[in-house]
Structure 1
Amino acid sequence: MALVRDRGQLKLGLRLPERRPRFPPTATTTTTTTTTTEYETVQVLGHGNGGTVYKVVHKKTLDVFALKVVHADSDPMMRRQIFREMEILRRADSPFVVKCHEIFEKPDGDIAILMEYMDAGTLDSFSKNGGVFTEQTLANVARQILNGLNYLHAHKIIHRDIKPANLLVNKNMEVKIADFGVSKIMCRTLDACNSYVGTCAYMSPERFDPDSYGANYNGYSGDIWSLGLTILELYMGHFPLLASGQKPDWATLMCAICFGEPPSLPEGVSDEFRSFIECCLDKDSGKRWTASQLLSHPFCSSSSSRQ
C-alpha cells in the first residue's frame, strides 16, 4: 500500500480566522505531534475541488480513517473553502456531524484533514449501489439529518449544500453531515445568505431568485428545502425536479425550482410522509418548518418505533 503523498513533516495548530462559531468548549480537535507518515493508504475514496479523499489506516493502532488532502496548487477559492470547513469541523461536537480528529499543514502548502471513516460511503453512492430507501428507513435518515442541522443552526451555521453526496452513512445506517466547504458562519442573526454557492440543483427558490422570493431571507430555511429534495430523491430514485435520466442545466433547474410546482410524492405513501415533504418544500421560505419543528413532525418523531 502506498503512503499518502510525500513524507514531509507537518505542522499543527493552523491559524484560523478570528471569527469563530460559539461551539461548546468540549468540541476540540486533537493536536498531538503526528504526521501523515503514520498512516497508510488503503484506497482513494474520491477526487474533486482540488483535492483527494483517501481511506487510510493508522500503522500502529490499525484504526481506519478518511483523510481529505487539498493540494497547495488548488484554486484560491477552494483554499478559502477548506479553511472554512476546518473552522467548523474542528469545533463541531455532534454525533450527527462527521468528526474531525486532526488537521495537518505540510510545508509545501498541502492541507490534510483526518476524519472518521463511514464505511458505506455517501447516501448518493449507497443509493446508486442498490441501497433501498423505504419510507421507514427515510424517517430515520431524516431524523438524523435534522438533528445535525438543528445543532448547526443553533450555532449559527448554515450548510448551504445539503444533498445525498454530502451525507455520509455507515453500515448501521448512521447518517452524518459532511462537506462544509460552502457553509456560512452567521455572525449576526440577520446576515444575508443569498450568494450562488453550493449545488444549484438543491437550491431553494429564494436562493435562485431573491428578487421574487425575498432578499435577505432566513438562510436556515434553504437547508430545509435541500433536505426535502434529498429525502424525496432517495425515495424516488432520481432527482425529483427532472424526469429520470434527464441531464440538468442551469436554465432548466431555475425554471423547475422557481416557476414549477413543488415536487410531490407519488401515490401510496403515508399521510405523514407527504406532509413532511410539503413542510420542507413550501416555496414561501417563511412557511417552511425549522429543523427543530420537523423533529417533532409525526414522520420523524415516530421513526424510532418504526425500525
Structure 2
Amino acid sequence: MALTIRERRVPRLHISLDLPSCAGAFRYPNPPVAAPAASTSSAAARVGDQQLRSSDLDRVAVLGRGNSATVYKVANRRTSAVYALKVLHGGGGGAAAAEADVLRRADSPHVVRCHSVLPAASGDAALLLELVDGGSLASVVARAGAFPEAALAEVAAQALSGLAYLHARRVVHRDVKPANLLVTTAGEVKIADFGIAKVLAHAGDHCTAYEGTAAYMSPERFDSERHTDPFAADVWSLGVTILELLMGRYPLLPAGQKPTWAALMCAICFGEMTSLPDDAASPELRAFLAACLHKDYTKRASVAHLLAHQFVAGRDVVASKLALRRLVTGA
C-alpha cells in the first residue's frame, strides 16, 4: 500500500513504501477488465502526421492502477494503432505537463516515448504513451520467477544505456524499480514513469526533494537535509532492481517481513549487503552489484563505469537478449 509520510523536519515528503507485491504499485499489463468509455473531449494533439483527439481513442483494457494515475490500453478508432494512456487523477494537468516535458527531452530506444498530452474525462489530464507489449519487469518476475544471469546482463545493459542518455541531459529519474522498467516481447527494456523525475538546471546541481519508493531509495536519500548526487541514487535503485530480479523477491528484507518505514530505513542505511549462496551468482555479477550498492554515494560506480563493467560489456549480446525475450514471452 502506498503511504504518504510526514515528519516535522521535512517540508515536503512524498514517499511510497511499495514493494512489488503491494497493492498500489502499477501492474503493467494486467488482463483486460471493464473500463469506462473514452473521453469525448474535442481537444486534439498531433501524433506523427495525424491530428488526434481524445474522442478518437477507445479504452481497451486497464493496464495498471496507482494512487495518482490509471494506465489504459487504448486504440485509435480510425487507424487501429494502439497506445498506453496514463490518466492522472485530480486534474493533474501540471503533473502531466511536467512529465511530458521530461519525456520530450528523450529520444532513446530505452526510454518510453510520449506522443502527446491530452485532456481526459472529469478534468483529468492524460499522457499518450508508447505501448510496451511485454509489461513491466515486476510483472515478468512475478510470473516467471528469478532471472538467469544472461537476462540480467541484458536488463542492466539496456537500463544503463537509458540512464546514461537521461543523465547526459541532466534528467534524474528518482524512482527506478522493476515496476518502472518496461520490456517488449522483442527484449527491449525501456525506462518509464517519470512522475517524480527532475531536470537539473545546471551540471553539478543536487536534489533535496524527498520523494520516491522507499524500498528502492539509496541510503543518502533518507536524510532529507543532505545535498547528494541524484545520479548516484539512480544507480543504487538499479542495483536493488537487478538484485531483486536475481533473487525473485525484494532482496533487502527477509522474505515475508513487513516493509515498514523503520525496517526499510535500517536495512538500507545500516544493513549488510544481502548474502548470496556461492552458486547463486558469478564473480562478475557480484562485483557489479557491489559497485551499484556502495552505501557511500561518493564511492558508488557511475553509469559510465557500469556500462564498461565486465558483467555488462563482456556479455554475449545475442544470448542475453534471447534469454530475456524467452522470459518475457514464456517461450
TM-score (norm. length: structure 1):
0.86
Q: Say what the alpha-carbon RMSD is for the aligned residues.
A: 2.1
User: Contact 1:232 / 1:277 at 8 angstroms: preserved in 2?
Assistant: yes
Q: Counterpart of 1:284?
A: 296
Residue in structure 2 matched with residue 168 of structure 1 by the alignment = 182
Structure 1 segments, 4+ long, off by >4 Å, are 1-4, 29-32
Structure 1 residue 3: deviation in Å? 6.8
CA gap 1:124/1:2 in 2 versus in 1, 3 angstroms: closer
CA distance in 2, matches of 1:136, 1:106: 42
Deviation at residue 8 of structure 1 after TM alignment: 1.8
Query: Is residue 272 from structure 1 mapped to residue 284 from structure 2 by the alignment?
Result: yes
Q: Distance in 2 between matches of 1:6 and 1:95?
A: 30
Aligned to 2:116, what secondary structure does the other structure show? strand
> What is the distance in 1 between the residues matched to 2:82 and 2:214?
33
* In the alignment, structure 1 residue 65 sits paired with structure 2 residue 76: no
Structure 1 pair 263–210 and aligned structure 2 pair: CA distance change class (3 A):
farther
- Deviation at residue 114 of structure 1 after TM alignment: 1.1
Q: Distance in 2 between matches of 1:299 and 1:305?
A: 15
Alignment of 1:47-62 (within 5 A): 47-62=65-80
Aligned pairs for 1:44-193 (under 5 A) are: 44-71=62-89, 73=90, 80-106=94-120, 109-130=123-144, 132-193=146-207
Residues 1:43 and 1:209: Cα distance change in structure 2 (over 3 Å): same
Go from structure 1 to structure 2 and tell me whether the alpha carbon gap of 1:32 and 1:179 turns closer, same or farther (over 3 Å shift): same
Quickly say closer, same or farther: Cα 1:146–1:264, change in 2 above 3 A: farther
The C-alpha deviation readout for 1:217-241, integer Å capped at 9, x for no partner, is 2110000000000000011011111
1:207-286 to structure 2, matched below 5 A, reads 207-209=221-223, 215-268=226-279, 269-286=281-298
Q: CA deviation digits over 1:95-138, x for unaligned, max 9?
A: 00001122213585321211111112110011112255101100
Describe the SS at the equivalent of 2:52: coil
Identity of aligned residues (%): 47
Q: CA 1:107–1:235 in 2, change beyond 3 Å: closer, same or farther?
A: closer
Find the aligned partners of 1:4 and 1:51 in 2 and give their Cα distance. Answer: 17
Partners of 1:69 and 1:129 in 2: CA distance: 26
User: Aligned pair 1:40/2:58, yes or no?
Assistant: yes
- The structural deviation recorded for 1:263 is 2.8
**Unpaired stretches in structure 2, ≥5 consecutive residues:** 1-33, 321-331
Structure 1: gaps (5+ residues) = 14-28
CA distance in 1, matches of 2:243, 2:198: 25
Alpha-carbon separation, structure 1, partners of 2:121 and 2:257: 45
Task: Judge which range, 235-244 or 141-150, deviates more.
Answer: 235-244
SS at match of 1:118: coil
> Kindly tell me: are residues 59 and 79 of structure 1, through their superposed partners in 2, closer, same or farther at Cα, counting changes over 3 Å?
closer
Offset at residue 245 of structure 1 (A): 2.2
Q: Could you say if the C-alpha distance between residues 231 and 2 of structure 1 is closer, same or farther in structure 2, counting changes exceeding 3 Å? A: closer
- In structure 2, the CA distance between the partners of 1:151 and 1:103, relative to structure 1 (3 Å rule), is same
Cα drift, residue 33 of structure 1? 2.9
C-alpha spacing 1:208/1:216, structure 2 compared with 1 (3 Å): same
Q: Deviations over 1:189-219 (max 9, x none)?
A: 23221322010111111101367xxx32211
Give aligned pairs, total: 285
Report if the CA contact (8 A) 2:57-2:74 is conserved: yes
Query: Greater RCO between the two (CA within 8 Å, min separation 6)?
Result: 2
Asked if the contact 1:4/1:36 (under 8 Å) is kept, the reply is: no
Deviations 1:145-184 (A, max 9, x none): 0000000000001100000011111212211000001111
Matched residues in 1 for 2:69 and 2:319: separation?
Answer: 40
Q: Distance in 2 between matches of 1:117 and 1:43?
A: 12
Q: Which moved more, 1:247-256 or 1:33-42?
A: 33-42
- What is the deviation of 1:60? 2.5
Assess if the C-alpha contact under 8 Å between 1:98 and 1:116 holds in 2.
yes
Q: Secondary structure at the match of 1:87?
A: helix
